[in-house]
């Protein structure tokens, strides 16, 4: 039996977290009232709140040496719902994903408005 590759490992584990197929295009024109970076390990985790009161969870790899780049987006009325219905969008971007790149992707490419941003991942 062959050992799974790191990419297969990530996608196998990511599939546990999204319960719906990504049938919608990448969300556009989202207003985020608060966004907080919670983790900065192999996968960055950001949690926040939307203008309409829903919770938001964003995830993406902090380096792409072993796995294809993606951004995972979960939205829901409560934090648990947002975390359990993450849709994964694969990216053709081949360089390491930085905070600056992801924020530019959201704000410039997809017209997101992030009103308040903080970083708790250093603690």
Domain positions in the chain are 12-19+29-119
- The model carries a pTM of 0.77
pLDDT one-digit tens code per residue, 88-122: 999 988 888 999 999 999 999 999 999 999 999 98
- State residue 96 phi and psi, 5-degree precision: -60, 140
- The stretches of 4-122 forming alpha helices (DSSP H) are 6-14, 79-84, 99-104
Q: Which two tokens stand for residue 40?
A: 């900065």
């Amino acid at each position: 039996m062959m050992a799974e590759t790191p990419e297969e490992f990530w996608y196998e584990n990511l599939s546990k977290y999204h319960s719906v197929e990504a049938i919608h295009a990448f969300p556009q024109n989202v207003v985020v009232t608060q966004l907080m970076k919670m983790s900065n390990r192999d996968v960055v985790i950001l949690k926040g709140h939307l203008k309409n009161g829903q919770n938001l969870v964003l995830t993406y790899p902090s380096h792409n040496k072993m796995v294809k780049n993606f951004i995972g987006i979960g939205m829901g009325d409560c934090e648990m719902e947002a975390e359990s219905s993450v849709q994964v969008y694969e990216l053709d971007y081949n360089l390491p994903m930085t905070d600056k790149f992801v924020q530019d992707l959201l704000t410039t490419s997809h017209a997101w408005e992030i009103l308040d941003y903080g970083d708790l991942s250093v603690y």
